[in-house]
Structure 1
Amino acid sequence: MNKEKAVVVFSGGQDSTTCLFWAKKKFKEVIAVSFDYNQKHKLELECAKDICKKHKIEHHILDLSLLNQLAPNSLTRQDIKVDTSAPVNGVPNSFVDGRNMLFLTFVAVFAKQRRINTIITGVSQSDFSGYPDCRDVFIKSLNVTLNLAMDYQFEILTPLMWINKAETWKMSEDLGVLDIIKEETLTCYNGIKGNGCGECPACKLRKQGYLEFKKYKK
């Protein structure tokens, strides 16, 4: 296996940006891959492009617009508002069916063409919004499936899988990129860079994690 190169699934948000810089510390060559699925807030792709350009990281944006047609939800439709309260049953309406499965599958195809074995994604089972495709069991299952489907040895790494948001903030500090994460990333479901809207589930989770992180430092 080629241990010097890695591809990062990169959205321009807090988690994937933390993983991007984690990868830069561990691999000689890092490539970032983002997806355009006609998401409601295209600014996240601009954030991804800007971060990669500023830090001299090779960056590709792949067209996955079909996902928008298949899975209408609050992140892909202007007329659907993001749920601000926890769902009573099922997953939040910000969950895009099949998104991580498709992202990782397309990235695997991309990686194999470049003889890269390592794929990195920022999913977390410890600190997620009830999304089934953020679970460790899903990642391990898909890893096996991709290896079999392409007769190639992939390794999917999930640096954030077992840590919470406070620990993710701590990781960014340890990597020396805390200010980049705070100011240049977009996590907000309402498309506001940095601290975001403060009201959507993603912003609340990000802020709560940051406050806990600051408490640890005292």
Structure 2
Amino acid sequence: MIDSASPATPPKAVILLSGGLDSATVLAIAREQGYACYCLSVDYGQKHRAELDAAVRVAKALGAIEHRVAKIDIGQFGGSALTDPTLAVPTDGVQPGIPITYVPARNTILLALSLAWAEVLDARHVFVGVNAVDYSGYPDCRPAFVQAFENLANLATKAAVEGAKLTVHAPLIDLSKADIVRAGTRLGVDYGLTVSCYQADDAGRACGSCDACRLRREGFAAAGLADPTHYQNA
């Protein structure tokens, strides 16, 4: 929740914004809680680059103070179907274990970038849209990871050493996808602006069969809300 800053000067927060459903919801939550939101998206070599265009739309629609896109090509190392053109995105349903769509160290790197910008902004808060309920089994989406990164941030930064503790917020961590959709809808998120698909086309239209599409579609169905996703075969 919000800290003791003056009501006339809302506290700053860096919001990791991928352009997908979860991160758009997190931005809406941070805004509702009274934070001045600075959004960071990362061009990390992902094949589904339409999400970066979606992030621009979402940041504008939800009133971000500033939105930046940082470029760091972790995709050059391969190892994930989201970055390696020789690896296919699975479309046979969510399976047990860590899937090939896991990008090695992605959330660690993205949070580190957000931490760097937060220090420059004199911000004490970072928001990330990780979820440990309806998700694909990624190890860097677990509560233990979020807590460990917050501990690291408060050991490794000039701001923290000088007494300005940083908090990593993961407001979706224990929510189902349906709960996330309901929360965002209540806060006025236009999910038609977002892109969650692992293999969206250049226009941002979703494949409808990857894990991200399945979880998203099931979330809207369970919430009893219309799915505004733009599908390739619609």
TM-score (norm 1): 0.90
Find the aligned partners of 1:19 and 1:195 in 2 and give their Cα distance: 22
1:181-201: CA deviation from partner (whole Å, max 9, x where unpaired): 1x1100011115777221111
* 3-state DSSP of counterpart to 1:75: coil
Task: For 1:167, give the aligned amino acid.
Answer: D
Equivalences for residues 1-218 of structure 1 within 5 A: 4-57=11-64, 58-65=66-73, 67-85=74-92, 86-87=94-95, 90-151=97-158, 152=160, 153-177=165-189, 180-181=190-191, 183-192=192-201, 196-214=206-224
Q: Structure 1 194/36 Cα, relative in aligned 2: closer, same or farther at 3 Å? A: closer
1:150-198: CA deviation from partner (whole Å, max 9, x where unpaired): 1412100011000000001110121122xx11x1100011115777221
Find the aligned partners of 2:215 and 2:205 in 1 and give their Cα distance: 11
Gaps of 5+ in 1: none
Q: Which residue is 2:230 aligned to?
A: none
In the alignment of these two chains, the number of paired residues is 210
1:42, distance to aligned residue in structure 2 (A) = 1.4
1:84, distance to aligned residue in structure 2 (A) = 2.4
* 3-state DSSP of counterpart to 2:69: strand
1:77, distance to aligned residue in structure 2 (A) = 2.2
Find the aligned partners of 1:130 and 1:71 in 2 and give their Cα distance: 19
1:46-74: CA deviation from partner (whole Å, max 9, x where unpaired): 11112223444210011111x11224311
Q: Structure 1 68/2 Cα, relative in aligned 2: closer, same or farther at 3 Å? A: farther
Find the aligned partners of 2:37 and 2:129 in 1 and give their Cα distance: 15
**Whose helix fraction is larger, Structure 1's or Structure 2's?**
1
Task: For 2:141, give the aligned amino acid.
Answer: C
Find the aligned partners of 2:215 and 2:55 in 1 and give their Cα distance: 21
1:127, distance to aligned residue in structure 2 (A) = 1.6
Indicate conservation of the 8 Å contact 1:6/1:27, yes or no.
Answer: no
Find the aligned partners of 1:124 and 1:55 in 2 and give their Cα distance: 21
Find the aligned partners of 2:173 and 2:108 in 1 and give their Cα distance: 16
TM-score (norm 2): 0.84
Gaps of 5+ in 2: 6-10, 226-234
1:73-105: CA deviation from partner (whole Å, max 9, x where unpaired): 1111223111224446x4101000100011001
* 3-state DSSP of counterpart to 1:76: coil
